[in-house]
Amino acid sequence: DAGITQSPRHKVTETGTPVTLRCHQTENHRYMYWYRQDPGHGLRLIHYSYGVKDTDKGEVSDGYSVSRSKTEDFLLTLESATSSQTSVYFCAISESAGNYGYTFGSGTRLTVV
Amino acid sequence: GQQLNQSPQSMFIQEGEDVSMNCTSSSIFNTWLWYKQDPGEGPVLLIALYKAGELTSNGRLTAQFGITRKDSFLNISASIPSDVGIYFCAGHFTGGGNKLTFGTGTQLKVEL
A27 pLDDT higher than 80 = yes
Chain B hits for A44, Cβ within 8 Å = 102
What are the C-alpha distances in Å from A13 to residues A40, A80, A83?
24, 10, 10
Q: Is A34 on the interface with B (CB under 8 A)?
A: no
Q: What is the pLDDT of residue A39?
A: 87
Rounded to a whole number, what is the distance in Å from the CA of A95 to chain B's nearest CA?
10
Query: What is the DSSP pairing of strand A108-112 with strand A10-13?
Result: parallel
Confidence class for position B7, pLDDT limits 50, 70, 90: very high
- For chain B, give the mean pLDDT: 92
Q: Would an 8 Å CB–CB cutoff place B87 in contact with chain A?
A: no
Q: Provide the pLDDT for residue A2.
A: 65
pLDDT on residue B1: 57
Residues B2-18 have a mean pLDDT of 90
Residue A57 has pLDDT above 60, yes or no: yes
Closest-CA distance, A8 to chain B, in angstroms, reads 14
pLDDT value, residue A106 = 96
Burial class (CB in 10 A: 0-12, 13-18, 19+), B36: buried
The rounded percent of chain A whose pLDDT value lies above 90 is: 88
Band (pLDDT 50/70/90 cuts) for residue B97 is confident
Q: Rounded distance, CA A110 to CA B17, Å?
A: 36
Q: What is the pLDDT of residues B55-70, one digit of tens each?
A: 999 999 999 999 999 9
List Cβ<8 Å contacts ≥24 apart for B68-73.
B68/B28, B69/B28, B69/B29, B69/B30, B70/B24, B70/B25, B70/B26, B70/B27, B70/B28, B70/B29, B71/B22, B71/B23, B71/B24, B71/B25, B72/B22, B72/B23, B72/B29, B72/B32, B72/B34, B73/B20, B73/B21, B73/B22, B73/B23
Q: Give the nearest chain A residue to B41 (CA atoms).
A: A106
- Burial of residue A67 (CB within 10 Å: 0-12, 13-18, 19+) is middle
* pLDDT of A16 higher than 80: yes
pLDDT of B105 over the 60 cut: yes
**B42 near A CB under 8 A:** yes
Considering only residues 58 to 97 of chain A, which have any Cβ-Cβ distance to chain B shorter than 8 Å?
58-59, 90, 92, 94, 97
Chain B residue with Cα closest to A41 = B104
Give mean pLDDT, residues A41-51: 93
Q: pLDDT by residue (tens digit) across A62-101? A: 999 999 999 999 999 999 999 999 999 999 999 876 777 8
Our CA-based measurement puts residue A99 at a distance from the nearest CA of chain B, in whole angstroms, of 8
Minimum-distance CB partner of B98 among A44, A97, A107: A97
Band the pLDDT of A24: cuts 50, 70, 90.
very high
